[in-house]
Amino acid sequence: MIPAAFDYHRPTDMAGVIALLQEHGDDARVMAGGHSLIPMMKLRMADVPHLIDLQSVSGLGGISIGSENIRIGAMVTQTDIIADDALAKGAPILREAALQIADPQVRNMGTVGGNVANGDPGNDMPGLMQCLDATFSLIGPDGVRDVPARDFYEAAYMTARTDEEVLTAVTIPLPAGGYAYEKQKRKIGDYATAAAAVQIVRDGNICTAASIAMTNLSDTPIYSEAAGAALVGTSVDDAALAAAADAMQGDIDPSEDNRGPVAFKKHVAGVIVRRAITRAWSRA
Amino acid sequence: MKDEVTRDERVANLKGMGCSRKRVEDARFTQGKGNYVDDIKLDGMLFGDFVRTPYAHARIVSINTEEALKVPGVLAVLTAADLEPLGLHWMPTLAGDKQMVLADGKVLFQGQEVAFVVAEDRYAAADGIELVEVEYEELPVIVDPFEALQSDVVLREDLVGEGGTLPDGAHGPRKHHNHIFRWEAGDRDPTAQVIAEAEVVAEESMYYHRTHPCPLETCGCVASMDKVNGKLTLWGTFQAPHAIRTVVSLISGIEEHNIRVISPDIGGGFGNKVGAYPGYVCSVVASIVTGKPVKWIEDRMDNLMTTAFARDYHMTGKIAATREGKITGLQCHVTADHGGFDACADPTKFPAGFMNICTGSYDIPTAYLEVDGVYTNKAPGGVSYRCSFRVTEAVYFIERMIEVLAIELNMDAAELRRINFIKKEQFPYTAALGWEYDSGDYHTAWDKALKAVDYEGLRAEQAQRVADFKAGKTRSLMGIGLSFFTEIVGAGPVKNCDILGLGMFDSCEIRIHPTGSAIARLGTISQGQGHATTFAQILASEIGLPADSITIEEGDTDTAPYGLGTYGSRSTPVAGAATAMAGRKIRAKAQMIAAYLLEVHDNDVEFDVDRFVVKGAPEKFKTMKEIAFAAYNQAIPGIEPGLEAVSYYDPPNMTYPFGAYVCVMDIDVDTGVPDIRRFYALDDCGTRINPMIIEGQVHGGLTEALAVSLGQEIAYDDMGNVKTGTLMDFFLPTAWEVPNYETDHTVTPSPHHPIGAKGVGESPHVGGVPCFSNAVQDAFRPFGNRHTNMPHDHWRIWKTAHDLGLHD
């Protein structure tokens, strides 16, 4: 459990980060909290000759809540998310989800940016950001660009981010309605057996909008547009729940691991998404 | 001088037996001041680490160390070829087998040690490991013991004679080249007859999965060979430091007086640190070769994948009874998967440990046990993970068989137990498989437990829940887990208990200092049990000096008396007895001194708490403190100066702690998630030395039982790859997963132990595993469940529900 030798870089501004990425190409990786990358390096599954620590780069922190959007800097930790009362008011699903990530020690180091940028299908924030229709800001040698979370993930650890880009912030439209982040896991610190993020808007007894995303049930997070659509116009009764769960099943593609076989995961995904919808609806 | 202190106050001042004295160890442990093996830093110390095979079964074609030796800081790479001239490329196991220290031509399990890289620091060692080139030729992998017994594939060519003959193993004839031993207890034919003629027979097969003790601190050592004075010092995570010294001497040829083995603070053992591992041998050799101290410390994956696992027992049972539920016979067959080498840590005469305690707490007149040990391509081990030599397996077996019989008889499982308990007046009770149970009062304990949890009320609630479930009102079921266990601990009488020929007595040596304080040294070694606290309490009560004035020291073979160490709950039953007996020798001499000082005959004084008083004249006394001073500083005719004693205690019998546990669990049928609502644990460990430590031990043992029953496993795929080699997949519960435990007790002292204590550290694990498992299985009993195997993780519980049609 000892990594191969690497050079440690700690630039203080983004220009320095980009320059290092350009200089070292594939041999360089940026690190935020390090809770995904460092274990991979210790297992020698990730070979990173040049490690670029973002801790001293200015401008990557902070949570700001505007009239339409919430902006979260990439280096904001899960603990910061949990502690921010204004954020908990503006987008309560973030706190509910962050409290289900790992344990307090990991949350003290683990960042939003690292969680969404690494492309690990087990991470909770990618699905959550797809549910919230977040946008990721990337900076690279050619400047800044925004990529919707729903377009960002290509495969496990493969994203729309190029090797020379850094994810700097997440922007979320202020969510409306009820919310729920429901996660089944084997123990504290575990990735999800199945997890569902749900935001749902209600007008009287009718659902007018719904957004649903699933975690750790494919090699990417799964935004299930069809599942959300199945709820719109309904009173979120049993039939609607069944339709949403069925639609979600069409989008996920879980694989067997120590958490259980595919049939189990699909079944639990259905249960979890129904529970998440029901809770979100009750809060809408 | 007038005595102003009351007798009760004098008793309290001693902090002797029965006192919830705070653990004296905790000051350093809670402040990060412990001294563990990895804290040892010596001048010029080198680090060794292993190249390990990724294949579970392969021939070694070649090993090229050239590139590794070019890494700056790498000094040497040892292979079997380097150890062979020393005769150290293989080493004896505790089970009478032998084990490769470094791969000698082939490997038999994933993670097996292939080469030992010695470097100036652990980083260079890790880089060196990457560059050792090993060419493997893969061989067919066998991970299933039943397949192993049918297969033409020979795992251990070294155990096959000329022309394919099979020489006897350490435990007698072998029936196949992958067979290790067959061990029998009880009466085969009479048992078969009882079963054939029985009114009711319940039959079940169950697999007690492979798991791992997973102590917080992994295994490791520091070896330092001083070439000037010829002395080898070996610090290590040893649960049995003296046994390690003897074994090192026997295999290295270094005279035993030139070897000093030190177990410093140990961060949990649970059986994982009993055996001898290749890391120890390689560190010693590397220190001899380099002339420098060499440290070896496992990482977590090494620990989980290679050093001693626990269980892996395939058990098939038949239990016979009358229609009224009186058990008439029990038959058990075990196929025991021992991995690539037989490295179980059991007393020599017991290759399946004390599995023959599998008649449990019940008066079963006829029984037969047969165990077949088998080689497979898995890691060696088979240690007692927080239990005494396969007792966990035995108790799980009988407590499942009782439940299955209850189903067969359509009877309440609590009542079935009550009908069959050994009665109080039957003790000492000789069981059908040979053991003599020392004492017990099972009915009292059982009634107390059932009353405490309102058993009748729980059953009524459960019935209502089933009705609600069937009516579609809930998706949650309720399980009531019952377990009544009898442990067999304190190994053991030298007449039938030895490991590698070393008798399993233990020892205590006491020196009283002139000012009335003391140091006592024992042959055991605490790994978290709190010996420094509790042994001082035993002595305080025995010799009348305050526990706070008594230092307990263990683990240094140069200073401690010889003993067989700490595992199998043997410390209190054996070393605790030695402590009491040594204390009594101190007291006997103190009595003579007191009589002299009080100018009366020896028989005219009697011991009272912390002093000797003249019989009938309690105002005339000498305190132990005064006696200690006189022992050293006053010329007493006929008595030599000093106040010291040593006792080597060979126990006349094992001790048999017991307990009654009840678990109440709610189960989410749709997700397979269990929620432990209540856990009640009544333990009878005989005389209670420190109630607070007992409670802590019960909490810890139950938590490890929860882990094992609900998810903790070492799982292999068909290629022999370990699927659960990190703590992400190997379930180690945190405070979050652990329920609130209710503890309770009865006290039935051991009649043969000097202070009546039986030991408690392992009871909660032994009794807890079947209790958690029975709760899961009981929840599904109303729907036709008979038995499902552990670990009951979410998907397996879900599968049980699914297979019973509860998702339809």
pLDDT category of residue A83 using cuts at 50, 70 and 90: very high
| B chain contacts of residue A5, beta-carbon cutoff 8 Å | 123, 127
User: Which residue, A146, A172, A198, sits at the end of a domain?
Assistant: A172
- A101-126 pLDDT tens trace: 999 999 999 999 999 999 999 999 99
Residue A58 covered by a domain? no
pLDDT at B592 over 60: yes
Residues A185 and A271 occupy one common structural domain: yes
Question: Token pair for residue A218?
Answer: 């494919």
What pLDDT was estimated at residue B646? 97
Q: From start to end of B546-616, where are the E strands? A: 550-554, 605-608, 611-614
What pLDDT was estimated at residue A242? 98
B361 vs B95, residue with greater confidence: B361
Distance CA B105, CA B403 (A): 48
pLDDT at B276 over 70: yes
- A34-55 pLDDT tens trace: 998 999 999 999 999 999 999 9
Q: Which residue of A has its CA nearest to B792?
A: A186
- Please, what is the average pLDDT of chain A? 96
| Beta-bridge mates of residue B510 | B520, B645
Residues A46 and A69 occupy one common structural domain: no
User: Which residue, A172, A193, A209, sits at the end of a domain?
Assistant: A172
Average pLDDT over residues B174-190: 97
DSSP codes of every residue in B158-215? GG--GGG----BTTB--SSTTEEEEEEEE-HHHHHHHHHH-SEEEEEEEEEEEE----
Residues A80 and A149 occupy one common structural domain: yes
Residue A274's identity, in one-letter code, is R
Residues A153 and A241 occupy one common structural domain: no
pLDDT at B701 over 80: yes
Residue A192 covered by a domain? yes
DSSP codes of every residue in B409-468? HT--HHHHHHHHBPPGGG-SEE-TTS-EE----HHHHHHHHHHHTTHHHHHHHHHHHHHH
Residues 6 or more apart whose CB falls under 8 angstroms from that of A203 comprise: none
Residues A35 and A70 occupy one common structural domain: no
What pLDDT was estimated at residue B491? 87
What pLDDT was estimated at residue B499? 84
Residues A31 and A132 occupy one common structural domain: no
| Beta-bridge mates of residue A143 | A140
Average pLDDT over residues B147-169: 95
Residue A2 covered by a domain? no
What pLDDT was estimated at residue B805? 97
Average pLDDT over residues B247-270: 94
| B chain contacts of residue A264, beta-carbon cutoff 8 Å | 672, 794-795, 798-799
pLDDT category of residue A66 using cuts at 50, 70 and 90: very high
- High-pLDDT (> 70) share of chain A, %: 100
Distance CA B650, CA B503 (A): 9
**Residues of A (41-60) whose Cβ lies below 8 Å from B:** 44
- Radius of gyration, CA atoms only, chain B: 28
Coil vs helix vs strand at B618: strand
Please name the member of A4, A5, A193 whose beta carbon is closest to the beta carbon of B794.
A193
CATH number of domain containing A16: 3.30.43.10
pLDDT category of residue B3 using cuts at 50, 70 and 90: low
Contact A187 B711 (CB under 8 A): yes
Average pLDDT over residues B471-500: 94
Residues 6 or more apart whose CB falls under 8 angstroms from that of B670 comprise: A267, A268, A271, B475, B798, B801, B807
Domain count, chain A: 3
- High-pLDDT (> 70) share of chain B, %: 100
What pLDDT was estimated at residue B673? 98
**Catalytic site residues of B?**
239, 386-387, 762
pLDDT at B705 over 70: yes
How far, CA to CA in Å, does A269 sit from each of A181, A247, B127, B671?
Answer: 13, 12, 43, 9
| Beta-bridge mates of residue B663 | B481, B679
Residues A78 and A156 occupy one common structural domain: yes
Contact B807 A187 (CB under 8 A): no
DSSP codes of every residue in B337-369? EEESS------TT-TTTTGGGTTTTB--SEEEE
CATH number of domain containing A217: 3.30.390.50
Give the minimum alpha-carbon distance from B126 to chain A in angstroms, rounded to a whole number. Answer: 6
The ipTM, to two decimals, is 0.96
- High-pLDDT (> 90) share of chain B, %: 93
| A chain contacts of residue B296, beta-carbon cutoff 8 Å | none
What residue numbers bound the domain in which A46 lies? Answer: 7-53
Residue A148 covered by a domain? yes
Residues A256 and A278 occupy one common structural domain: yes
Among B794, B802, B803, B807, the strongest candidate for a mutation testing the A interface, having the largest count of A CBs within 10 A, is B794
Contact A267 B737 (CB under 8 A): no
pLDDT category of residue B502 using cuts at 50, 70 and 90: confident
Contact A5 B733 (CB under 8 A): no
| B chain contacts of residue A102, beta-carbon cutoff 8 Å | none
Distance CA B555, CA B522 (A): 8
User: Which residue, A153, A172, A191, sits at the end of a domain?
Assistant: A172
Contact yes or no for B392/B704 (Cβ under 8 A): no
What pLDDT was estimated at residue B576? 93
Residue B361's identity, in one-letter code, is S
Among A36, A258, A268, A272, the strongest candidate for a mutation testing the B interface, having the largest count of B CBs within 10 A, is A258
What pLDDT was estimated at residue B434? 93
Distance CA B351, CA B357 (A): 14
Residue A200 covered by a domain? yes
Question: For chain A, how many residues are written?
Answer: 284
Classify residue B574 by its DSSP letter.
Answer: I
Contact B728 A190 (CB under 8 A): yes
For chain B, list the domains and their CATH numbers.
7-34+506-649 (3.30.365.10), 37-141+218-266+274-306 (3.90.1170.50), 309-410+421-491+654-803 (3.30.365.10)
Residue environment code for B445-471, b if the CB has 16+ CB neighbours within 10 A, otherwise e: bbebbbeebebeebeeebeebbeebee
Average pLDDT over residues A12-31: 95
Residue A183 touches partner B, C-beta closer than 8 Å: no
Residue A1 covered by a domain? no
- B402-450 pLDDT tens trace: 999 999 999 999 999 999 999 999 999 999 999 999 999 999 999 999 9
Burial of B73 (0-12, 13-18, 19+ CB in 10 A): middle
Give the minimum alpha-carbon distance from A265 to chain B in angstroms, rounded to a whole number. Answer: 8
- Please, what is the average pLDDT of chain B? 96
Q: Which residue of A has its CA nearest to B672?
A: A268
Residues A67 and A19 occupy one common structural domain: no
Residues 6 or more apart whose CB falls under 8 angstroms from that of A55 comprise: A10, A75
Average pLDDT over residues B739-747: 97
Residues A42 and A137 occupy one common structural domain: no
- B10-45 pLDDT tens trace: 999 999 999 999 999 999 999 999 999 999 999 999
Q: Is the peptide bond before B428 cis (omega within 30 degrees of 0)?
A: yes
Coil vs helix vs strand at A169: strand
Residues A73 and A120 occupy one common structural domain: yes
Classify residue B72 by its DSSP letter.
Answer: T
pLDDT at B1 over 80: no
CATH number of domain containing A110: 3.30.465.10
- B528-561 pLDDT tens trace: 999 999 999 999 999 999 999 999 999 999 999 9
pTM: 0.96
Distance CA B92, CA B343 (A): 9
Residue environment code for A178-208, b if the CB has 16+ CB neighbours within 10 A, otherwise e: bbbbbbbbbbebbbbbbbbbbbbbbeeeebe
Residues A209 and A246 occupy one common structural domain: yes
Residues 6 or more apart whose CB falls under 8 angstroms from that of A148 comprise: A133, A134, A135, A136
Give the minimum alpha-carbon distance from B798 to chain A in angstroms, rounded to a whole number. Answer: 7
Contact B737 A187 (CB under 8 A): yes
Residues 6 or more apart whose CB falls under 8 angstroms from that of B128 comprise: B68, B69, B71, B73, B74, B77, B117, B119
- A254-275 pLDDT tens trace: 999 999 999 999 999 999 999 9
Distance CA B365, CA B34 (A): 51
Helix/strand/coil percent split, chain A, to 5: 35, 25, 35
- B49-71 pLDDT tens trace: 999 999 999 999 999 999 999 99
Distance CA B518, CA B806 (A): 65
Helix (H) or strand (E) holding B718, with range, is none
What pLDDT was estimated at residue B345? 85
Give the minimum alpha-carbon distance from B671 to chain A in angstroms, rounded to a whole number. Answer: 6
Q: Which residue has the tokens 């659509």?
A: A229
Contact yes or no for B269/B217 (Cβ under 8 A): no
Residue A225 covered by a domain? yes
Residue A193 touches partner B, C-beta closer than 8 Å: yes
Helix (H) or strand (E) holding B730, with range, is none
What pLDDT was estimated at residue A55? 96
What pLDDT was estimated at residue B2? 53
